[in-house]
Structure 1
Amino acid sequence: MTHLLFILLGLALMAVTLPLVLELLLVTSANLLPASRRRTADSGKLPDVAIIVPAHNEEQLVPLCVQSLRAAGGPALKIYVIAHNCSDGTAERARLAGADAVVYNDPNAVGKGFALRYGFQYALDRGADAVMVVDADSVVSLNTVTAVQNAFASGARVIQCRYEMFSTTDRSSTRLAALAFRGFNVVRPRGRDRLGLSAGILGNGFAIDREVLQRVPYDAFSLVEDLEYHLHLVMAGERVRYLDHAFISADFPESGTGESVQRSRWEGGRLHTARTLFLPMLNKLLRGRPRLIEPLCDLVGMPMAFGVFALLVTVCLPVSWIRWYAAASLAVVAAHVLTAAWAGPDFFKTLQLLALSPIYILRKLWMIPGVLRGSSGKAAWVRTERNNTL
């Protein structure tokens, strides 16, 4: 009887961890493939890409963001800072930095998704061929605007640039979070792109063609509006291309509280989106849309820290074939982490952090109540508390 209970527990743990393991195996191994050759851009005028900067009480950071965009795109670049329900000087600071500040106040429209929809329509009404989103707390590499324009001219319809968050402190928890973020925001989309799949939208540094926005309107208002809209795109047959050589970067909050709140909201929002879109996606998959397998696995896959904890429990069960599954799955996770470390700035220094990963996993488990609160789907835009402001 006891042995049967261990088998049933093992099967349950296998069921909840398998989507994550399959996703990591697929996208991590694909990073070994050569990068796809991009079609040369057609000669002629490059598309007019307008930059949308959604901002909620970001008066401290928005000037640096606008300055980096102006350096990348030149004086003719259209930069629209959407000052959404702000109670500070975001709009004025954006204007002084050289952007067009668009004040959008609507107490019934809470959440970044509303600011994006308003900004997209504002830019399209003024003749933009495409729009690109850059968060107010970010800076871009000098080649970003040109790289996005060339990608559109070469036939891309939706684009995601490389988006990384860096630790500005020596706090091991934040540096481990940066490593996990690189796995999610670099290793996964790069692998998908090399397999010919949709790379995904990461909420920052993505760009959309006018025609796509008109065909698939931006009606995503959850806590993870980027994930929600990407799933709408793939269900509509669109593919997001990944630009590994165009960088968008931001800093993690120095405040441990701010970091925890941010992660809880993200993961809670993913849980809510999984509950909402799982059945519609499964229905389309069963009706002959095999390309939805990967985004469906990604949608229902556990956060990696939770998945690792579940696999560690699984490997301790006294059932040999279940333990073999757990051991092989942990090897896949290890390969993914090593690939993420290799993609970062200091491989060997990053490896030293892994000794502290059990503490990181325990901290993530402590966040479960916050994740469950975030899964309610209420998308109020809560500015992340930061110490690292100008």
Structure 2
Amino acid sequence: MLATSATAGTHAAAPATDPALLLNVVVLVPAYNEESSIGATLDGLMLQTRPADRIVVIPNGCTDGTAREARKYPVTVMELPRLEHRKSEALNTAWSEFADNADVVICLDADTVLPPNAIEAWAKEFSTEEGALLGGSSSKFTMQDPGFLSRLQKAEFATWTDVALRRGSTSVLAGTGCAINNGVLRQIAARDDRVGPWVYTSQVEDFELTYRIRELGYVCQVSPEVRAYTDSMKTIKALWGQRMKWQVGTVEDLLQLGINRLTLRDWGQQLMGLLSVFLKLLWMAVIIASLVLGVFQFVLFWWLVPILFVALDIKRALRIPHYDWKDIVLAASFFPQEVFMWLRSGWIMASWWAVLATKITRRRVDRWEAQYTAEEIN
């Protein structure tokens, strides 16, 4: 067993009666050009109250100093060339060589920092009696960037986290930071449609993997104890590229998986999204038509709708981790959140159109490459 931090002695000296300490925990950190952030990610792993038994950093196709920075730490660095199947192939390659015999596998993006309690909390979740049915546990990820666009994303993810915690389940174990029962990963890797736990036909490998875990009868949850701090998209172009990858990939997977008890909620979210697009367009059409025909009349009652939205946004803002007065003002301003909603409607509509175009032309856009390009340009 490879000790991966200066605090490994604390791990070894701890009482062996604690079931969480008997688990073998391996952390996989795929990385693509993360020279500026990999240090903070590994610093976070070095400070864990319960250190990992092995940390594997997987720089794949990097053109910067990601691997060089990672080698400054007591971790395993598995440097790979640019892979055809990107993150999924990097994870499968490292998993098959270093993590196959682990009890718990933690997947962590190279721009994400875990607080010191993370590995210990995850290990305890899997070592309880209920943990026998736990397939995976996602972190409550958030951003701390003070930028305007980042605050909107932070509010969005805070709402997602609250909903998932109330439900007690999630349909996506976010690869940003999550822990997975490795016995379940071995079962999934044995399927005929893949060469490891992560499939190559999906552009949202996290969603597909979570579905397969749930299909085996295991629970996937958002951890009530583990938070992760990650980067946000800094520009509209980068955000659009990210969300088109997520949305197109999800729609493609749902069309392949069909409608069943495991996908029903996700189909409902897609239908609600499309309905929202339709209602927004209908509202615009009615307003424009009434203005053109000269029959437009302002009704004072209409103010109640935006006031209600503002009240809900402020309530949600008060649930944002580490919120400050700027988050509250942003929520109370109405228009920033409304613009973000229009953006969301935009990528929902564009993604369905893109999927339809792919079905007709048989030409599939590499959404990973599109996202990388959008981030690099900006």
Q: Identify whether the pair has TM-score above 0.5, normalized to the shorter chain.
A: yes
Query: Structure 2 vs 1, CA of residues 249 and 75 (structure 1 numbering), >3 Å: closer, same or farther?
Result: closer
Match 1:154 to one of 128, 149, 153: 128
Query: Structure 2 vs 1, CA of residues 310 and 256 (structure 1 numbering), >3 Å: closer, same or farther?
Result: same
Q: What percentage of residue pairs aligned between the two structures are identical?
A: 21
Specify the alignment match of 1:189 in structure 2: 164
In the TM superposition, residue 67 of structure 1 has moved relative to its aligned partner by: 0.9
TM-score, scaled relative to structure 2: 0.72
Query: Structure 2 vs 1, CA of residues 76 and 362 (structure 1 numbering), >3 Å: closer, same or farther?
Result: closer
Larger-Rg structure: 2
Specify the alignment match of 1:16 in structure 2: none
Query: Structure 2 vs 1, CA of residues 175 and 198 (structure 1 numbering), >3 Å: closer, same or farther?
Result: closer
Asked if 1:59 corresponds to 2:35, the answer is: yes
Question: Which stretch of the first structure deviates more once superposed, 162-171 or 127-136?
Answer: 162-171
Asked if 1:168 corresponds to 2:145, the answer is: yes
In the TM superposition, residue 275 of structure 1 has moved relative to its aligned partner by: 1.4
Does structure 1 conserve the Cα–Cα contact (< 8 Å) formed by 2:26 and 2:56? Answer: yes
The residue matched to 1:104 in structure 2 has which SS? coil
The residue matched to 2:258 in structure 1 has which SS? helix
In the TM superposition, residue 144 of structure 1 has moved relative to its aligned partner by: 0.2
The residue matched to 1:163 in structure 2 has which SS? strand
Gaps of at least 5 residues in structure 2 are 1-15, 190-196, 287-305, 359-363
Query: Structure 2 vs 1, CA of residues 97 and 258 (structure 1 numbering), >3 Å: closer, same or farther?
Result: farther
Does structure 1 conserve the Cα–Cα contact (< 8 Å) formed by 2:57 and 2:78? Answer: yes
**Which one scores higher on RCO, CA 8 angstroms, separation ≥ 6?**
1
Specify the alignment match of 1:136 in structure 2: 110
In the TM superposition, residue 118 of structure 1 has moved relative to its aligned partner by: 1.8
Runs of 4 or more, structure 1, over 6 Å off, are 314-318, 330-336
Looking at structure 1, the residues matched to 350 and 281 of structure 2 have their Cα atoms a distance apart, in angstroms, of 21
Looking at structure 2, the residues matched to 351 and 199 of structure 1 have their Cα atoms a distance apart, in angstroms, of 27
Query: Structure 2 vs 1, CA of residues 317 and 115 (structure 1 numbering), >3 Å: closer, same or farther?
Result: same
In the TM superposition, residue 81 of structure 1 has moved relative to its aligned partner by: 0.5
Question: Which stretch of the first structure deviates more once superposed, 260-269 or 365-374?
Answer: 365-374
Output the amino acid matched with 2:127: A
Asked if 1:145 corresponds to 2:122, the answer is: no
Looking at structure 1, the residues matched to 32 and 81 of structure 2 have their Cα atoms a distance apart, in angstroms, of 10
In the TM superposition, residue 86 of structure 1 has moved relative to its aligned partner by: 2.0
Output the amino acid matched with 2:118: T
How many corresponding residue pairs? 319
Looking at structure 1, the residues matched to 270 and 213 of structure 2 have their Cα atoms a distance apart, in angstroms, of 22
Q: After superposition, where does 1:106-255 map in structure 2 within 5 Å?
A: 107=83, 109-125=84-100, 127-155=101-129, 156=131, 157-166=134-143, 168-171=145-148, 173-184=149-160, 186-193=161-168, 197-198=169-170, 200-217=172-189, 218-221=197-200, 222-255=202-235
The residue matched to 1:241 in structure 2 has which SS? strand
Query: Structure 2 vs 1, CA of residues 354 and 332 (structure 1 numbering), >3 Å: closer, same or farther?
Result: closer
Cα deviations by residue, 1:154-209 (Å, 9 ceiling, x for unpaired): 142333243323262442x442232122222x02321221xxx4564122221112
Cα deviations by residue, 1:103-147 (Å, 9 ceiling, x for unpaired): 12364x32222222222222324x422210110001011100110
The residue matched to 1:253 in structure 2 has which SS? coil
Query: Structure 2 vs 1, CA of residues 257 and 152 (structure 1 numbering), >3 Å: closer, same or farther?
Result: same
Looking at structure 1, the residues matched to 45 and 106 of structure 2 have their Cα atoms a distance apart, in angstroms, of 11
Asked if 1:81 corresponds to 2:57, the answer is: yes
Question: Which stretch of the first structure deviates more once superposed, 145-154 or 81-90?
Answer: 81-90
Gaps of at least 5 residues in structure 1 are 1-40, 286-291, 319-329
Looking at structure 1, the residues matched to 90 and 267 of structure 2 have their Cα atoms a distance apart, in angstroms, of 24
Question: Which stretch of the first structure deviates more once superposed, 340-349 or 213-222?
Answer: 340-349
Match 1:278 to one of 246, 250, 258: 258
Looking at structure 2, the residues matched to 70 and 62 of structure 1 have their Cα atoms a distance apart, in angstroms, of 12
Query: Structure 2 vs 1, CA of residues 92 and 349 (structure 1 numbering), >3 Å: closer, same or farther?
Result: same
Specify the alignment match of 1:352 in structure 2: 332
Query: Structure 2 vs 1, CA of residues 332 and 377 (structure 1 numbering), >3 Å: closer, same or farther?
Result: farther
The residue matched to 2:42 in structure 1 has which SS? helix
Output the amino acid matched with 2:97: Y
Does structure 1 conserve the Cα–Cα contact (< 8 Å) formed by 2:140 and 2:222? Answer: no
The residue matched to 2:71 in structure 1 has which SS? helix
Does structure 2 conserve the Cα–Cα contact (< 8 Å) formed by 1:51 and 1:131? Answer: yes
Query: Structure 2 vs 1, CA of residues 135 and 121 (structure 1 numbering), >3 Å: closer, same or farther?
Result: same
Query: Structure 2 vs 1, CA of residues 210 and 166 (structure 1 numbering), >3 Å: closer, same or farther?
Result: closer
Looking at structure 2, the residues matched to 336 and 298 of structure 1 have their Cα atoms a distance apart, in angstroms, of 23
Query: Structure 2 vs 1, CA of residues 119 and 361 (structure 1 numbering), >3 Å: closer, same or farther?
Result: same
Does structure 2 conserve the Cα–Cα contact (< 8 Å) formed by 1:64 and 1:139? Answer: yes
Specify the alignment match of 1:103 in structure 2: 79
Query: Structure 2 vs 1, CA of residues 339 and 225 (structure 1 numbering), >3 Å: closer, same or farther?
Result: farther
In the TM superposition, residue 96 of structure 1 has moved relative to its aligned partner by: 1.0
Query: Structure 2 vs 1, CA of residues 340 and 268 (structure 1 numbering), >3 Å: closer, same or farther?
Result: farther
In the TM superposition, residue 224 of structure 1 has moved relative to its aligned partner by: 1.1
In the TM superposition, residue 267 of structure 1 has moved relative to its aligned partner by: 1.4
Cα deviations by residue, 1:334-358 (Å, 9 ceiling, x for unpaired): 8985664332024733532433333
Output the amino acid matched with 2:142: M
Does structure 1 conserve the Cα–Cα contact (< 8 Å) formed by 2:67 and 2:79? Answer: yes
